[in-house]
Homo-oligomer: A and B are copies of this chain.
Amino acid sequence: MKFNFTDLLTDHVSQERLARLISALAEIGKSDGDGVNRQALTPQDVAARKFLAEVAAGCGCEVYRDEAANVFFRRAGTTDGPPVVTGSHIDSQPTGGKFDGAYGVCAGLEMMAALNDAGVVTELPLEVAIWTNEEGCRFAPGSMGSAAFVQPELLSTFRESADSTGLRFGEALDDAANALQFIPLLPLNRPFSAFVEAHIEQGPVLEREGKTLGVVSGIQGVRWFRISVRGQTSHAGTTPREFRKDAVLVATELVQQAYAAANESDADLRLTVGRFEVSPGATNTIADGVTFTIDLRHPSDDVLDDFEARFRSWTRRQSACSISLEELMRHKPTPFSEKVRATVAEAAEQCGEPWRELLSGAFHDSMYLAEHCPTGMLFIPSKDGLSHHPAELSAPDELAWGAKALTLAMYRLANPSLDVAGQ
């Protein structure tokens, strides 16, 4: 049989109910205008978990949590096999919007409600996960919840990470556990049959090409570097050119060289210098220090290796200043499971909406889940490619199409006997 339930399932996904849930969630931590400031493990984040747990319980789900404050809503299957899991995160950037992360959790809950309304039970249990601290803006690094779920030995290190007030992640976790103690605990790293994350694209590709759905083939590799240039302060007016050790002169030359090389490299190479800090930072003082960052991304480790080697060689050349380079982060490209990609693609096709395959330029919790079980992602368009911004927006029908495709894909993955039946 060929997804006999397609219309039954998609007809029960409600655009209005989904929009209401997203709006209600956005009230918790609401900031200026349409913005959301709901950073990880703040009172707002904990309150949002309680609110969603009530919604899930109203859908007949069991609610669980783990030691990383990840929360799970489970809808029982006809068997007790490892669950098929969807979800995302509900923490936001300080100046975030309503959709980044929150959409994936709300779409999962809409799936639960649609399956209830359709009277459909799956073979394997279904779960919606809320992963803790994906954004990493309050406690670095990001994606602590999904990373600790997959590699529980990371948790003790994460617990030491402090926010800007000095409060440690471990203390915030303990406070959250206290507030959520009514929810039973499950172990970290328990088996999943598959994981599918719905998310806004956070880029302009789907909108530009008029696609409603994006089937994500993987997450590109990323490397972060911090480059420090050390010169010597001296007076802007009194120091002849040949005596200057001007860190701004040397650092801007490196930045321009990197941009020029990226521009001549593969079109998918993405280079960003997002921080550039000058000391002492006075108009009439030659700077003795610049620290800048490089964010480098590409789907191929070979391309990244090549660019990194060239850039490192430039930092070693003769200069009036000393230059040092420190690697801050490195993630290999993450290809997603072929089976999950194919299932999500088939669900998109069944929706009858235009879709394309694309790579994720951003990190997601799926980067860690891919080490744990067959994993994939589904994108919907972001207006103007905006995210981490109060104006981030996906249209109501796009939100609903994403939930429909998600429901179809999750249904398929949670019914392994459909494969045996030759589909």
Interface of A toward B, CB cutoff 8 Å: 201-205, 220, 222, 224, 233-241, 243, 246, 248-249, 252-253, 255-256, 259, 262-263, 267, 270, 272-278, 281-287, 290, 293, 295, 297, 328, 360-363, 385-389
Contact = CB atoms under 8 A, between A and B. Distances in A.
Contacts of A202: 235, 237-238
Contacts of A285: 272, 274, 388
Contact of A282 (B237, B275, B328): B275
Contact of A275 (B203, B281, B385, B386): B281
B385 A238 contact: yes
A258 to B, nearest CB: 10
A203 B235 contact: yes
13 contacts: A203-B234, A203-B239, A204-B239, A204-B240, A204-B243, A235-B361, A238-B362, A249-B273, A252-B252, A274-B282, A277-B278, A277-B281, A283-B293
Given A252-B252, A255-B252, A278 B274 contact: yes
A284 B294 CA distance: 9
A235 B275 contact: no
A237 B389 contact: no
A248 B285 CA distance: 21
Given A252-B255, A256-B253, A276 B278 contact: yes
Contacts of A249: 259, 273
Nearest to A253: B256
Contact of A283 (B201, B204, B224, B362): B224
Contacts of A246: 272-273
Given A275-B281, A278-B275, A270 B385 contact: no
Name which of A202, A222, A233, A284 has the most chain B CB atoms within 10 A of its CB: A284
A91 B58 CA distance: 70
Contacts of A255: 248, 252
A263 B285 CA distance: 18
Contacts of A272: 236, 246, 248, 283-286
Given A248-B255, A252-B256, A255-B248, A237 B297 contact: yes
Contacts of A201: 238
A179 B41 CA distance: 53
Contacts of A274: 236, 248, 278, 281-287
Contacts of A253: 256, 259
